[in-house]
Structure 1
C-alpha cells in the first residue's frame, strides 16, 4: 500500500523526500557530497542546531522557497523552537524581506506549525 500524506505539510515533505531519493539514485556522488556538506553545516557548534534551523527558515522565507520553508519549519520544531521563537525569527526576516516574507509567515509557516504540532499530541 502506498503512503498517503494526511495534510499539505506532510505531503510536501513526502514529495521532497521522494524527489531527493530519485535524485540520489540518478546522481549518487553529487547527492552524497551535498548531504555531507549540509550535515556538516547543521551540526551542533558555536551555534545550536535550533539557531541554525531558525537562520535557515529565515533564509528560506526571504528566498521564497516553499519546500525549504516547510522543511526548516519542521527543523525548528524538531530542535525545540517555540512558536514565539519561530515568529520572532520571521519578524527579523520580514524586516529585510518586507511583505513577500511576511506573506509566507502568516500563511505557509503558520499552517506548518499547526500541522506539525498535531503530530506531537
Structure 2
C-alpha cells in the first residue's frame, strides 16, 4: 500500500486491465460481466446497497483494486460518505485488524473520488 495511491487512477487501471483480460479470455470475461451485471441489478436490494455489500467484501478480502471500483460505483449509485463509513465498520467486524487498514483505504478513495467531482 502506498500513501500516494490515486484511487480514481487505480479504478481506471483495473478497468483497463480487465479489458485486456477480456481480449485474452473473452468467454470467461463475458461470463464474468454477465454475472456482475445480474448480481448488482436492482431487485429486492438496490444497486447502491449491493455496491456497499461488494465494498464490504472487498475490504474483508483485502482487494485494493476492488475497493477502488466499488467505492466509485457505490458513490455513482448515491452512497454517502457516512454509508460507506458504516460499511467499513461492518467489514472491520468481519475482517478484524487487516480490514481496518483496507477500510482506511476505502475512506481515502471516497475522499479522492468526491474531490474529483
Specify if TM > 0.5: yes
Matched residue SS, 2:23? helix
The count of corresponding residues between Structure 1 and Structure 2 is 113
| CA deviation after TM superposition for structure 1 residue 109, in Å | 1.1
Alpha-carbon distance between aligned partners in 1 of 2:19 and 2:40, rounded to the nearest angstrom:
20
TM-score normalised by length of structure 2: 0.91
Provide structure 1 residue ranges, at least 5 long, that are not aligned to the other structure.
1-6
- Is contact 2:84–2:107 with CA below 8 Å preserved after alignment? no
Task: Name 2:106's counterpart in structure 1.
Answer: 109
| CA deviation after TM superposition for structure 1 residue 10, in Å | 2.1
CA RMSD, 1 decimal = 1.2
Provide structure 2 residue ranges, at least 5 long, that are not aligned to the other structure.
none
Task: Name 1:29's counterpart in structure 2.
Answer: 27
Alpha-carbon distance between aligned partners in 1 of 2:93 and 2:8, rounded to the nearest angstrom:
29
Structure with higher Rg: it is 1
Alpha-carbon distance between aligned partners in 2 of 1:56 and 1:66, rounded to the nearest angstrom:
12
Q: Which runs of 4+ in 1 moved over 6 A?
A: none
Alpha-carbon distance between aligned partners in 2 of 1:96 and 1:16, rounded to the nearest angstrom:
25
Show CA shifts across 1:33-78 (max 9, x none). 1101110000000000010001000000000011001111111111
Alpha-carbon distance between aligned partners in 2 of 1:97 and 1:30, rounded to the nearest angstrom:
29
Task: Name 1:94's counterpart in structure 2.
Answer: 92
Residues 69-84 of structure 1: matches in 2 within 5 Å?
69-84=67-82
| CA deviation after TM superposition for structure 1 residue 11, in Å | 1.8
Show CA shifts across 1:61-120 (max 9, x none). 0000110011111111111111111111111111111111011112x1121111100222
| CA deviation after TM superposition for structure 1 residue 13, in Å | 1.3
Alpha-carbon distance between aligned partners in 1 of 2:72 and 2:13, rounded to the nearest angstrom:
15
